[in-house]
Amino acid sequence: MHEQGIAQDIIKQAMATAKERGKDVKGITVEVGDLGHLPAEEMEQALQTMVSDWYITMKHKPATIKCGCGYTGAPNIIEKGHDHNVYRCPACEALMPEIVDGDQIVLESIDVT
């Protein structure tokens, strides 16, 4: 399962950072972009299954696209699913313009004890 691989990477990164500080992980904040590989709910569920003793906070990151028509801004997301997104430029309706931001799932912060 794709979400479990991403969750494992986030958990490893959090644990390594906490270990460098000589601490234990208490909780994490994960930022999920509108055009990320997984919906935030799936990412949160995978993380909670793997680390039930941490608190997990999910943050939303709006997506930004850049279209050949000159538009730069939020896309019109038509379909968001597991490992796929379909979106259009709201100005000219072009399908799948260049993504500038908001397509990542990243560990934003770690709370340690």
- Provide the pLDDT for residue 1: 55
Which has the closest alpha carbon to 105: 44, 23, 21?
Answer: 44
pTM metric for this prediction: 0.88
- What gap in Å lies between CA 20 and CA 42, rounded to an integer? 29
Q: CATH number for the 2-112 domain, one of 3.40.50.300, 3.30.450.30, 3.30.1330.10, 3.30.2320.80?
A: 3.30.2320.80
- Provide the pLDDT for residue 2: 75
Domain ranges, ordered by start, for the chain: 2-112
Query: Which is it for strands 25-33 and 55-61: parallel, antiparallel or unpaired?
Result: parallel
- Provide the pLDDT for residue 15: 95
φ, ψ dihedrals at 62, nearest 5°: -65, 145
- Provide the pLDDT for residue 84: 86
- Provide the pLDDT for residue 3: 83
What are the residue ranges in the chain where pLDDT is below 50?
none
